Amino acid sequence: MIESMHAVTLGHFLMTGAILFVLGLIGFVTRRNLIIMFLCTEMMFQGVAITLIAFSKFHMNMSGQTFVIFLLTVAAAESAMALGLVVLLFRRKRSLDSQVWAQMAG
């Protein structure tokens, strides 16, 4: 009973993933520093990755884990690019504030 109460279930993993995801989302929406916003998206990534791995583990289906490997690879490439972009954007305006890039207003 106790053992079962303390056993780690799928729900815990999913909850962790969801918390990471939502934290990232909140951070993305509330913060204005481009680098922080970028890191927040990375956090959302990790939330999704944990969810995938948890499903993979508990359903004994390896494709989820495979998927995560790909996801990490893509995330690595993407972060390199994203940081590069952030540097370029910074050079243009000498600021990391996302509000300065509001010319796209309709």
For other proteins, the binding residue among 14, 15, 23, 25 (CB under 8 A) is 25
Question: Among the candidate windows 22-30, 47-55, 67-75, 87-95, which touches other proteins by CB under 8 A?
Answer: 22-30
Q: Are 89 and 34 in contact (CB under 8 A)?
A: yes
Q: What is the distance between the alpha carbons of residues 76 and 49, in angstroms, rounded to a whole number?
A: 13
Query: What is the contact mask toward other proteins in residues 38 to 77, using x (rule: CB under 8 A)?
Result: ----------------------------------------
Alpha helices (H) in 1-106, listed in sequence order: 2-6, 10-30, 34-59, 63-93
Q: Closest Cα to residue 50, out of 75, 14, 25, 78?
A: 14
Q: Which is nearer to other proteins, 25 or 65 (CB)?
A: 25
Residues of this chain that interact with other proteins (CB under 8 A) are 25, 28-30, 32, 37, 98-99, 101-106
